[in-house]
Amino acid sequence: MKISKKIQDTLKLQDYSKKPVIDGVKILQLRRFNDDGGSFTELGRLTSGALNDLPEVTIAQINYSEMDPGAIKAFHVHLQQIDIWYVPPSDKVVLILVDIREVSATKDVKMKIVLGDGNSKLVMIPPGVAHGCRNISVKTSRIIYFMDKNFTDDPKKCDEFRLPWDHFGAEIWEVQKG
């Protein structure tokens, strides 16, 4: 089929190639059961405090967070703690991960993962991977996350270190156009 030369020069293929994965990050696809009355998702089964599908993580705390539409909860990193995130399928959050570990095969690799949006996934974030998220929905989004350490606001014991929201560039938060 012939199309105009002007259009031909601007056409490009969308990149569907596999994106790099940060060492230690695990994404588990969960089963979601739907029927005419609603849905059900099993987030995990525990044996002695450990998730059966992620036995290396013993759960110490479970948190629930809400984000206003368009809100950015910018980058933070744990030096010891593992996080496991879940966003309900009815919500839509972009999770951004950046490997800032000095000794890592995937040092400086960035991952952008859409959570929710009809899917049920758990994402395990290892220590040393900076993470933040943006609610790209038009309504409040929720995050349920499991941790292997208890949170403390005691400055001598706290394992939640912050980076500026635009530390990796303000454009990282933008929804891709095109």
- Residue for token digits 């995990």? 44
pTM, two decimals, is: 0.89
Place of tokens 């220590």: 127
Contact 57, 82 (CB under 8 A): yes
Q: Which residues contact 167 (CB under 8 A, 6 or more apart)?
A: 74, 75, 130
pLDDT at 88 over 90: yes
CA-closest candidate to residue 115, choices 125, 129, 128: 125
Q: How many Å apart are CA 158 and CA 155, to the nearest integer?
A: 5
Q: What local confidence, expressed as pLDDT, does residue 163 receive?
A: 96
The CATH superfamily holding the domain 19-150 is: Jelly Rolls (2.60.120.10)
Q: Where are the domains of the chain?
A: 19-150
| Strand partners for 47 | 50
Q: How far apart are CA 96 and CA 26, in angstroms?
A: 14
Q: Is the pLDDT of residue 6 over 90?
A: no
pLDDT greater than 90 at residue 145: yes
